[in-house]
């Protein structure tokens, strides 16, 4: 059980059934290739980015003066 006062993204409203443009499919294909060829580096990067996303968002909110 993880307990934190930071708000993390939940991705609950991420819809994979929507229509995708070609500009979106090219980076997704590149990400799939990276996952296939160097999965350890990709998943480490995703974990670090997700872990630091909420504290960074909190800090940016404090610096901008919003809640």
DSSP-derived 3-state class of residue 47 = helix
Mean pLDDT of the chain: 87
C-alpha dihedral sign at 49, 42, 17, 23: positive
Q: pLDDT (tens digit, 9 = 90+) per residue, 13-40?
A: 877 788 888 898 899 899 999 999 999 9
| Half-sphere exposure for 61 (CA within 13 Å, toward CB) | 10
Residue 64, pLDDT above cutoff 80: yes
């Amino acid at each position: 059980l993880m307990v934190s006062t930071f708000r993390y993204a939940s991705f609950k409203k991420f819809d994979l059934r929507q229509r995708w443009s070609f500009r979106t499919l090219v980076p997704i294909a590149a990400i799939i290739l990276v996952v296939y060829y160097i999965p350890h580096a990709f998943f480490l990067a995703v974990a670090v980015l997700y872990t630091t996303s909420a504290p960074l968002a909190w800090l940016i909110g404090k610096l901008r003066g919003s809640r």
